[in-house]
C-alpha cells in the first residue's frame, strides 16, 4: 500500500525505536517483565522525544494529532517487541473527547498526555466479561458525591496507574440500571487490590483483581452524564481492536523474519531446513496471511480517516482484529515449529510470542464476540457497506 512521506517517516521512527527495545526482551522475560528502573525511564524519555507517547490524543487535548493511519503504522511497529516493552508508546483515553471537563482535563487527562501519570480500566467482573451489560458494580448518588461498590477483574496496568476508570450501573434514581463511568484516584479510601494473579505472559504490567468498597468520589469525577457509560466503552473497543490488529501484524512480521533467518542457517540431514518444502510452506502461508491482515488493517484505518460510517467502522475494526489476531497465532505456532526445540525456550522470540499473542483472541472482545458483531452488521446492512 502507498504511504505518504510523513507516514513512512513515522513508521521508520517507530521501527528504529522498537529496534532499540528488542535487545531488552530476554532480560524482561527473566525478571518478571521488569527492566532496571533507569532503563525503563530512558525508554520512556526516548519515546517522548520521538513523539511516540499519547499517540492517539488530538492536538486539542495536547497530543500529537496523528491520523488513524499514522497511529496504525506506529502501533504495528510496537507489536514487533515482546514483553509489552512496546507499551511505552502509550495511548491515552482519547475516547473521552468533548465531554471532558476543564477539571478532568487538568487533573487527569493533561498529565496522562504528558506521560506523567497513567490510567487503568476496571470494567470486567467475575460474572461479566463479554456481556458488559451484566456488570454488578453499583454507583449511588449521595448529594454531591457518588458512592461506588464492586469487584473488578483483569485490571491491566493497575500496578502502574494513578487513577482507574470504574464502570458501574446506577443503583437508584431516574437513570437506575444505566451505565456510568468515573475517574477514581487509586489512593481513594475503599479502593484496594484484592489479588495479583499470574498470567500466561511475563509483563511488568499486572492485571489486578480490585475491590471498591463504599468509595466516595465527587460528582465532578463522572465522565459525561449518567447513562453515557457504555458509549465510551464502545468507542474505546473500536479503537483498540484496530490497534490490536496492527500489533498482531507487527508480531507476525518479526516472527516470519526471525523464523526465515533461522531456517536459512539451520541444517538437518545435511541440508538447510529452508530448502525443505515443509518449512517453505509454513513460511509462505505465514507471509500470505500477514499481507492479507495488513491490507485489512491499513484499509480500515484509511476508511476511518476518510470518515466512514460509524457502524461500518465498527464491523471493519472487528474483522481486522479477528483476522489479524487469529493469523498471528497461526504464525507463532508455525514459528515455534520451525525453531524446533529452541522454539520451546523462553529465551526464544517465537516461544514468547506464542504465549503472548494468545490473549489477542480474548481481550477487547473475544474472537466469538467479533464474529457476533460482524454477523449482526452483515444482517443489518448487507455485504457492500462493510466489505465493499
Ligand X SMILES: Cc1cc2nc3c(=O)[nH]c(=O)nc-3n(C[C@H](O)[C@H](O)[C@H](O)COP(=O)(O)OP(=O)(O)OC[C@H]3O[C@@H](n4cnc5c(N)ncnc54)[C@H](O)[C@@H]3O)c2cc1C
User: How near is the Cβ of 156 to ligand X at its closest, in Å?
Assistant: 3
Least distance in angstroms from the C-beta of 372 to ligand X? 5
Task: Return the residue nearest ligand X (CB atom).
Answer: 129
Is residue 204 within the footprint of ligand X (CB under 6 A)?
no
Instruction: Give me 7's grid cell.
Output: 507516514
The residues in 224-253 that bind ligand X, with binding defined as CB under 6 A, are: none
Rounded least distance, CB 225 to ligand X, Å: 21
In angstroms, what is the minimal distance from the CB of 287 to ligand X? Answer: 28
In b/e form, how buried is each residue of 160-189, taking b as 16+ CB within 10 angstroms? Answer: ebebbbbbbbbbeeebeebbbbbbbbbebe
List the one residue from 155, 243, 252, 322 that touches ligand X (CB under 6 A).
155
Answer yes or no: are the C-beta atoms of 161 and 120 closer than 8 Å: yes
Could you tell me if 246 and 293 are in contact, meaning their C-beta atoms sit under 8 angstroms apart? Answer: no
CA angle, corner 89, sides to 22 and 168, nearest 5? Answer: 125
Segment contacting ligand X (CB under 6 A): 19-27, 124-132, 263-271, 308-316?
Answer: 124-132
Instruction: Give the distance between the most distant pair of CA atoms in the chain.
Output: 80
Quick one: three-class SS letters along 7-71?
HHHHHHHHHHHHHHHHHHHHHHHHCCCCCCHHHHHHHHHHHHHCCCCCCCCCHHHCCCCCCHHHH
**Beta carbons of 123 and 167 less than 8 angstroms apart:** yes
CB under 6 A: which stretch of 79-87, 150-158, 272-280, 307-315 binds ligand X? 150-158
| Angstrom distance (rounded) from CA 36 to CA 42 | 10
- Figure out which of the listed residues 43, 80, 118, 154 binds ligand X, where binding follows CB under 6 A: 154
Shortest distance (Å) from residue 277 CB to ligand X: 35
Which range touches ligand X (CB under 6 A), out of 153-161, 186-194, 254-262, 285-293? Answer: 153-161
Examine residue 121 and tell whether it contacts ligand X (CB under 6 A). yes
Cβ-based nearer residue to ligand X, 31 or 200: 200
Task: By CB under 6 A, tell whether 352 contacts ligand X.
Answer: no
Q: Quick check: 159 binds ligand X (CB under 6 A)?
A: no
Nearer to ligand X, 7 or 240 (CB): 240
Q: Which residues have a Cβ under 8 Å from the Cβ of 365 and sit 6 or more positions away?
A: 130, 237, 241, 318, 321, 373
**Among 29, 289, 351, 364, the one annotated catalytic:** 364
Of residues 324, 322, 350, the one with CA closest to residue 338 = 350
Would you count residue 353 as binding ligand X (CB under 6 A)? no
**In this structure, what is the dihedral angle of CA atoms 50, 302, 296, 335, given to the nearest 10 degrees?**
-10
Instruction: Candidates 39, 366, 376, 385: give the one binding ligand X (CB under 6 A).
Output: 366
Nearer to ligand X, 7 or 125 (CB): 125
Q: Does 363 bind ligand X (CB under 6 A)?
A: yes
Residues 130-149 that bind ligand X (CB under 6 A): 130
Q: Which stretch binds ligand X (CB under 6 A): 26-34, 83-91, 101-109, 356-364?
A: 356-364
Q: Is 156 in the site for ligand X (CB under 6 A)?
A: yes
CB closer to ligand X, 109 vs 123: 123
Cα separation, 236 vs 101, in Å, equals 19
Q: Pairing mode, if any, of strands 145-156 and 138-142?
A: antiparallel
- Regarding 361 and contact with ligand X (CB under 6 A), the answer is no
DSSP code at position 341: G
Distance (Å, rounded) from C-alpha 244 to C-alpha 75?
8
* 368 makes contact with ligand X (CB under 6 A): yes
Q: Does 207 bind ligand X (CB under 6 A)?
A: yes
29 is catalytic: no
Alpha carbons 224 and 36: distance in angstroms, whole number: 39
CA dist list (Å): 161 to 82, 166, 208: 21, 13, 11
> Catalytic amino acids?
364
Which residues sit at the interface with ligand X, rule CB under 6 A? 121-124, 129-130, 154-156, 199, 207, 359, 362-363, 365-366, 368-369, 372
Amino acid at each position: 500500500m502507498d504511504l505518504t512521506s510523513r507516514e513512512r517517516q513515522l513508521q521508520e521512527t517507530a521501527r528504529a525505536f522498537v529496534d532499540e527495545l528488542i535487545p531488552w526482551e530476554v532480560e524482561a522475560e527473566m525478571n518478571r517483565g521488569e527492566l532496571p528502573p533507569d532503563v525503563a525511564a530512558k525508554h520512556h524519555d526516548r519515546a517522548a522525544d520521538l513523539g511516540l507517547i499519547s499517540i492517539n490524543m488530538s492536538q486539542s487535548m495536547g497530543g500529537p494529532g496523528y491520523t488513524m493511519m499514522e497511529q496504525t503504522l506506529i502501533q504495528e511497529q510496537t507489536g514487533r517487541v515482546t514483553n509489552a516493552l512496546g507499551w511505552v508508546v502509550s495511548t491515552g483515553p482519547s475516547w473521552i473527547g468533548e465531554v471532558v471537563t476543564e477539571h478532568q482535563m487538568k487533573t487527569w487527562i493533561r498529565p496522562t498526555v504528558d506521560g506523567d501519570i497513567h490510567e487503568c480500566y476496571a470494567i470486567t467482573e467475575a460474572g461479566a466479561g463479554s456481556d458488559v451489560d451484566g456488570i454488578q458494580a453499583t454507583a449511588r448518588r449521595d448529594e454531591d458525591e457518588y458512592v461506588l461498590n464492586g469487584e473488578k477483574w483483569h485490571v491491566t496496568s493497575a500496578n502502574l496507574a494513578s487513577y482507574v476508570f470504574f464502570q458501574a450501573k446506577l443503583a437508584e434514581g431516574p437513570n437506575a440500571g444505566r451505565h456510568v463511568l468515573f475517574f477514581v484516584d487509586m489512593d481513594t479510601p475503599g479502593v484496594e487490590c484484592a489479588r495479583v494473579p499470574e498470567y500466561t505472559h511475563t509483563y511488568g504490567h499486572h492485571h489486578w483483581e480490585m475491590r471498591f468498597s463504599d468509595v466516595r468520589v465527587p460528582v465532578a469525577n463522572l465522565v459525561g452524564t449518567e447513562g453515557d457509560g457504555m458509549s465510551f466503552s464502545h468507542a474505546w473497543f473500536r479503537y483498540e481492536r484496530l490497534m490490536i490488529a496492527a500489533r498482531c501484524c507487527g508480531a507476525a512480521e518479526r516472527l516470519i523474519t526471525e523464523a526465515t533467518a533461522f531456517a536459512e542457517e539451520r541444517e538437518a540431514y545435511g541440508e538447510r531446513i529452508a530448502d525443505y518444502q515443509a518449512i517453505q510452506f509454513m513460511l509462505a502461508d505465514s507471509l500470505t496471511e500477514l499481507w492479507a491482515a495488513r491490507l485489512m488493517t491499513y484499509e480500515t484505518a484509511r476508511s476511518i480517516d476518510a470518515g466512514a460510517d460509524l457502524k461500518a467502522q465498527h464491523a471493519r475494526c472487528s474483522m481486522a482484529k479477528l483476522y489479524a489476531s487469529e493469523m498471528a497465532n497461526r504464525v507463532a505456532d508455525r514459528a515455534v515449529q520451525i525453531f524446533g526445540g529452541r522454539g520451546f525456550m523462553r529465551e526464544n522470540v517465537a516461544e514468547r510470542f506464542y504465549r503472548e499473542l494468545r490473549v489477542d483472541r480474548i481481550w477487547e472482545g473475544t474472537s466469538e464476540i467479533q464474529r457476533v458483531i460482524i454477523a449482526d452488521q452483515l444482517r443489518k446492512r448487507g455485504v457492500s457497506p462493510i466489505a465493499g
